[in-house]
Amino acid sequence: MFNKSLDSFEARLKRLAAEGAGQSRLMAGEGALGQTQISAGALKRASRRSARANGAWLWAVPRWALAFGLGLVAMGAGRLFGFHVLGPLMGEETLTMAAMRPVGELAIGLVVLLTLAMAIGFRGHMAKGAMLAGLAVMGLGEAELAGRLPGLWESLFSPAYAAQVLGERGGVAQELRALAGVLHSSL
């Protein structure tokens, strides 16, 4: 039986060689490299797939940079919502209310961030880390950004809030020093 199968296999190989069907196109990995054939149609299809459509320049930016920017925007939206909605509702009469507003802003920023990330499709670890870094940079560096764009800050929030934030200029360095002091004293 083994010889019968071997004989039929050899007969098929001879038949294919006689018809020339095996030489019209080589499979990848067969034959010498110079003998591999690629049709002009295959080249056109390959070049068509790699070309970017008009308006797709945004996806040319690295995904981690888009994720970082998304974190910045989400925290900015949380601050904006916290100022216009939570501020009038809570007031700052007690220490609890004064502490709840930044927590509410952070919660809103996280909700906006997660919603946009799921809609856009940022699911990798690098993208998640970049989104959280953007969220933290906006949270800590709002004073620096307000100092660079004071007109925008006055139009988005209020002149009094912009002046208060601008009074905290150098905020990232000060907040990091304060955080380091708290961590150092707790150890």
Distance CA 113, CA 71 (A): 6
Count of alpha carbons within 13 Å of 167, Cβ hemisphere only?
Answer: 6
Give the domain ranges of the chain: 2-50, 58-186
Q: What is the pLDDT of residues 82-99, one digit of tens each?
A: 888 877 777 666 777 777
Q: Give the per-residue pLDDT at 85.
A: 85
Mean pLDDT, rounded, for 121-128: 84
The predicted-structure confidence for 135-185, as pLDDT tens digits, reads as follows: 888 888 888 888 888 888 889 888 888 888 877 665 556 666 776 777 777
The residue behind tokens 């601050």 is 79
What is residue 68's predicted lDDT score, i.e. its pLDDT? 92
| pLDDT over 60 (residue 21) | no
- Model confidence band, residue 22 (pLDDT cutoffs 50, 70, 90): very low
pLDDT at 107 over 70: yes
Dihedral pair phi/psi, residue 149, rounded to 5°: -130, 65
In the predicted structure, residue 56 carries a pLDDT above the cut 80: no
**DSSP SS3 for 56:** helix
Higher per-residue confidence, 27 vs 164: 164
Who has greater pLDDT, 88 or 129? 129
Report pTM. Answer: 0.56
End-to-end Cα distance, the chain? 81
d(CA 153, CA 76): 11
Mean pLDDT, all residues of the chain:
76
